[in-house]
Chain A
């Protein structure tokens, strides 16, 4: 599945290997991560996810949470990864600002570092309800340049 040409126009032809960005969606928000491996692109997209809610710099990565996902399809694995983070945010009432991902075949092991939400400190703008299959894409765009993206419902 690919994004529209309009969305693709936002992509820098020579991006730094690891970075993240948002892309517009009418009602919700698109998140996109780049990396030299799928795992790194997943980590960057997770930063973009937190960036939907708050300013990343305000979130202290003091507490660690581990998550695991397993599914054959790499794009579905990406949606699962984001939904695992969303679930931890919701049930632990935490925000995360540092991520580590290891992918072996169909299995993903992720670590999230963050802290409990403090409204006065984080001023969270919006709650993310879930990751969708809209504009979902996990692909190698060039040698050593991976992208992982989708729209999240807010």
Chain B
């Protein structure tokens, strides 16, 4: 991206001053190096989002922003329905409520080292991953609707987890306002056999070691210290979310002009929040969010079953579950007025500061845990929201490293088997049904997650709490 097109407001804040049809400025949080590396498409997409009706304050891009469809990945934008604000399927993404869940284990490296290979094997056997995998739970139409209404709460009521899990999940594991009637028969059919499956691409299940703590107080509140073993799950709403995204992307494209919305680009398809299609998307998307939370809850249950067989003394309590492809109705102060706005976070994590009622009571004094996924060979991070966060980008932060190389290029550059062998030498066990998939997900295909996290920390989007490194990684 050309720096000359931006106005630098501070070390980490770059503005695109409004021009043409832009209603608000674009604001990017990044270092000079990250800006230089960003695709020009991010500039174009941030600018286009700023043209949409009812947008508030600014069209934001996080330090890990990259070229998405319509909205950039790493994009944050809020819309006020009272000002004709819109909702966009492309502003949430196909994988509705994709997110990261981290569990404590109560174990140390020594406990894991002895059994990491059988553990990796059993986890990959028990948790279906990759193309063509089916879960063990098959939902009939009534159960499907109950799941879409109840989310992780439904899963717990069916025996997959505990009440305490729900207290450590955003929205207490159940997104209100979900309407299964707004979800098509096709989307439900696509999900019928996919509950408790991991998916593919950048999704994973990792056993990780806490290798560094940057904020001892917050780490203490979150219950982690150096040497602890944690387990993280990264996945989303599976086929159901993908189908909802597909269908509403199209219907929003087809109806935009009838709502008098002038789209700068068709892929920016959206609908007024108060329109029939906007209402339907909200009901369906919230059902998709429940599907994602239920899915991660079921996977948690499968993980616990696996550990019970191999390491029965493990205590797999949930640290937190946070989604990074969402649209939520939230209250924010905008130009001195508190407004209820629909905040789209596409590839961006909510990062509410201390005191927010949305945060579990146990963490409320320090801020919301922000779980950032890295690659199978580098590291992931645990951060927390800060007081400053709320005033920057509606309480939002980064979500991951972001790719720096296309899948095609990565699969030409690396061989999956060599990646697995090299990581094995470094003590990391990889399990995946596809070596090409591993090559496409090679650590070198991603940006440096540490740089992205450092910028988020220094820009005030979230504060670094701990760094975790993988020991076992199960990929789709």
Which of B17-25, B153-161, B404-412 is near enough to bind chain A?
B404-412
Most buried by B among A53, A90, A122: A90
Which of A37-45, A75-83, A103-111, A138-146 is near enough to bind chain B?
A75-83
Interface residue from B67, B239, B409, B435 paired with A123 (Cβ < 8 Å): B435
B406 touches A129 (CB 8 A): no
**Chain A, residue nearest B440 (CB):** A125
A12 located at the interface, meaning its Cβ lies under 8 Å from any Cβ of chain B in the complex: no
How many angstroms from the CA of A52 to the CA of B73 in the assembled complex?
21
Interface residue from A27, A86, A126 paired with B200 (Cβ < 8 Å): A126
Q: Which A residues touch B242, using CB under 8 A?
A: 86, 90, 129-130, 153
Q: Which A residues touch B200, using CB under 8 A?
A: 124-127, 154
Q: Which A residues touch B406, using CB under 8 A?
A: 24-26, 29
How many angstroms from the CA of A119 to the CA of B437 in the assembled complex?
12
Mask: chain A, 56-73; 1 = CB below 8 Å from B; 0 = not: 000000000000000000
A22 located at the interface, meaning its Cβ lies under 8 Å from any Cβ of chain B in the complex: yes
B69 touches A133 (CB 8 A): yes
A11 located at the interface, meaning its Cβ lies under 8 Å from any Cβ of chain B in the complex: no
**Chain B, residue nearest A52 (CB):** B407
Task: Report A77 CB to chain B, min CB distance, Å.
Answer: 11
Size band of the interface chain B makes with A: 35 or more
Q: Which B residues touch A79, using CB under 8 A?
A: 250
B68 touches A124 (CB 8 A): no
How many angstroms from the CA of A38 to the CA of B402 in the assembled complex?
35
How many angstroms from the CA of A116 to the CA of B81 in the assembled complex?
46
Interface residue from B66, B93, B434 paired with A124 (Cβ < 8 Å): B434
B190 touches A133 (CB 8 A): no
Q: Which B residues touch A126, using CB under 8 A?
A: 131, 200-201, 407, 434, 437, 440, 476
B189 located at the interface, meaning its Cβ lies under 8 Å from any Cβ of chain A in the complex: yes
Task: Report B212 CB to chain A, min CB distance, Å.
Answer: 28
How many angstroms from the CA of A49 to the CA of B173 in the assembled complex?
35
Most buried by B among A27, A28, A125, A129: A125
A136 located at the interface, meaning its Cβ lies under 8 Å from any Cβ of chain B in the complex: yes
Mask: chain B, 376-402; 1 = CB below 8 Å from A; 0 = not: 000000000000000000000000001
23 A-B residue pairs with Cβ-Cβ distance under 8 Å, sorted by A, are: A24-B409, A26-B39, A26-B41, A27-B66, A76-B250, A87-B243, A117-B131, A117-B132, A119-B132, A119-B433, A122-B132, A123-B434, A124-B130, A126-B201, A126-B437, A127-B476, A130-B249, A132-B94, A133-B69, A136-B266, A153-B69, A153-B95, A153-B245
A sample of 8 more A-B contacts (CB under 8 A), given A29-B406, A90-B190, is: A24-B408, A76-B254, A124-B130, A125-B200, A127-B201, A132-B94, A133-B249, A154-B200
